[in-house]
Every structure is written in structure tokens, then in C-alpha cells.
Amino acid sequence: MRRTSHKLADGREIIYFDADEHAPPRTAVDTRDLPPVAAASEIRLDPLSGEWVAMAAHRQTRTYKPPADLCPLCPSKPGKPSEIPESDYEVAVFENRFPSFAQAVSGSESTVDGLPMVPTAPGRGRCEVVCFTSDHDRSFGQLSHRQVRTVVEAWADRTAELSALDGVRQVFPFENRGEEIGVTLHHPHGQIYAYPFVTPKTARMLEVARAYQAEHGRHVLGDVLAAERASGVRVVARGAHWTAFVPPAARWPVQVQVVPHRQVPDIPALTDAERDDFASVYLEVLGRCDALYNRPLPYVAGWHQAPVGAGREDWWLHLELFSVLRSKDKLKYLAGSESGMAVWVNDTTPEQIAERLRAAH
């Protein structure tokens, strides 16, 4: 894998990943006249839930649904420079110009005026955009096995490097797909958030895993995985090193967890064989998802990785994909119970979801 790092016109880093040894050298220069990035991120601790909330008002001006011929994630063309200076690329990763978290944020730890019980801090971290392919009209599920492997290598590289940044506590690679999810750029891409705190979901999952380990002497996800592989009722796809299944308490109308058979904390810990097998299993999952309603499925897919530092030995890496689409033309809205009280009501069962996905091809 060839890795090439350059700077964009405003000083942001861009990194090219090439699996093809004969790919041209990545030497193009960003010719745009860009002002410096001005991120003003802040985090505040909710005094009632104990959860951090990010404030990033500068993101109001971010790019919103540009026409395809002005897509900022396509390769640059004569007279139409983009965020990618090269005329073609395999996988490209660059710092987000409108980040929720950034390294250069100023300020210090404090509290909200008049509210000493509400701590504040600079939103120091990093947000990156991962362009899966230069082809504007493809999707992740239409990539070749080799292309997916290149993306996995990029995820592993970025996880390792971002985890080493001062103040970063967790790295989260994810993809938002489809307008129903809120996507404003249609080029196939994902993002990576390097958070300055451990996310609420991860903290809760660690708490549950540690309690289960103390009682049973085993990891809870390991036991769930073994039971799912044995029964097969909710299994959607199988490989030599990974199994994809609908979680037994699925919240979403479409939801799949892709879990490695070996306990590892994060993507960099995966072997080459595990990375190869993930590409095969995940492509099968995405193919079934798009065949489910015979249309591109809107989804969020994200990697649940161990926090940086404490908690790594208690974690089991997995990817989770979910969709808000409950039928071909109907959405599941997060209404009173889900949004107000975080109590989920699913209109179907995990077994029905799995059965429909297995039948879709």
C-alpha cells in the first residue's frame, strides 16, 4: 500500500492511498485561493446526563447539496479545482474544512457563566473525510474487493495516527449514506471523528462488558457471537473470520452487526486475513441491503472501536449498520419515546429482519 501525504491550499492535510503499484505519483498541487480554516468548537457537559455535547456554530456555512459537476469530492478538472487536487485517485482522506472538532481550537477549560456545574472545554480533536472512490456515481457496495481493502487500510492508518494525537480519546470511522439520513454530498464517502472524550454509547457498552466479564468470565459480545453462529436464525452473512447478524434486540427496521471471530480492540489490530474476509462479508451485507427494497438503502455504518488508553482490553471491535427505512417508501421517525426517553419501539422483529435480508439478493 502506497501512502502519500500533501497539504491543501489552506494547510489541511490530504493523504492518498494506492493499492496499485503502477498508480501515478500523487504530486498535484491545490491551486485554490482558500482562507484559513476557522473552527470554533467547544464541548459542554450536560449536568443532568453527564454527557458531553459539541458546539460547532461555524458548520452552518458548510457545503450543502452542490450539483454533481461541482462536487468537491470528485477529482479536480481543468477550471474546476476540488478538495482533491489529483485528476484521479483510489482512496483519498483529508481534513474536513468544517470540522466538529479541530486541533487548532483555542481556549481553555472553564464553566458556563453562572453555571459552575456545567464544565466547558475546547473541542480539540480532528475530523476527516474519506473518499472511497473517485467515481461519483458508485457506492461502497459497488466497490471491488480490492477497493474495499484499500479503504480498510486507510481506516487502519487513520485510526492509528489519530489515536496518537494529544487529547484524542476515541476514533470513530463511519459512513452516512442517502438523503433520508441527511447526506448533503452524494459522492461515496465517509468520515472519521477523533473525539476529545469517550462517547456515551461506548462508555455504557464498556460498563456492561465489564459487569458481564466479572460475572461470567467471558466477553458479552463473544458469547452473543457464539450463540448467533450456533443458531443461525439472525445470521445474514458468514466468513472465515467474520459473522454478520441482526442483533437480538435490534432497534432499527434494518440493523446488522459485523463482528470478527477474534477479540481485537480496533481496526489496526486486524490481520491481513481478517481484513480480506471483512471485505467479502461486508460487500455481501451491503448487496443484501440494497436488494431488500430494490433501491439504494439509506444507512449509517460505523466502527465501534476501543477508546484510546483505558478500556482497550475490555473491548471487542465490530461494525454496525442501521437504516431508518422501514419499507420501500416509509421512514421510521424517532418520535416521543425514542427521542424523548431513549426507549426504542421496533415495528418488526430481529428474526423477521434477518429473514428478509437473507432472501434479498
Cite the annotated binding site for Zn(2+) by residue number. Answer: 71, 74, 136, 187
SS (H, E, C) 319-343: EEEEECEEECCEECCCCHHHHHHCC
Asked if residue 289 lies in contact with residue 141, where contact means CB atoms within 8 angstroms, the answer is yes
User: Annotated binding residues, as ranges?
Assistant: 71, 74, 136, 187
Distance CA 233, CA 248 (A): 10
CA distance 204 to 109: 25
Is 145 a catalytic site residue? Answer: no
DSSP code for 337? I
Which element (helix H / strand E) includes 194?
strand 189-195
Q: How many CA atoms lie within 13 A of 310 on its CB side?
A: 6
Q: Please, is 77 exposed, middle or buried when counting C-beta atoms within 10 Å of its C-beta (0-12, 13-18, 19+)?
A: exposed
CA distance 26 to 89: 8
Q: Which residues pair with 1 in a beta bridge?
A: none
Q: Cα–chain-centroid distance for residue 189?
A: 10
Sheet (strand 115-122) strand order: 52-55, 42-45, 115-122, 110-112
C-beta atoms surrounding 116 within 10 Å: 10
Which is catalytic among the residues 145, 189, 261, 361?
Answer: 189
Phi, psi of 60 (to 5 degrees): -60, -25
Return the axis-axis angle of helices 350-359 and 272-292, rounded to nearest 10°.
90
Measured CA to CA, the distance from residue 226 to residue 201 in angstroms comes to 23
The grid coordinates listed for 88 are: 484521479
Residue 262: helix, strand or coil by DSSP? coil
Catalytic residue numbers read 189
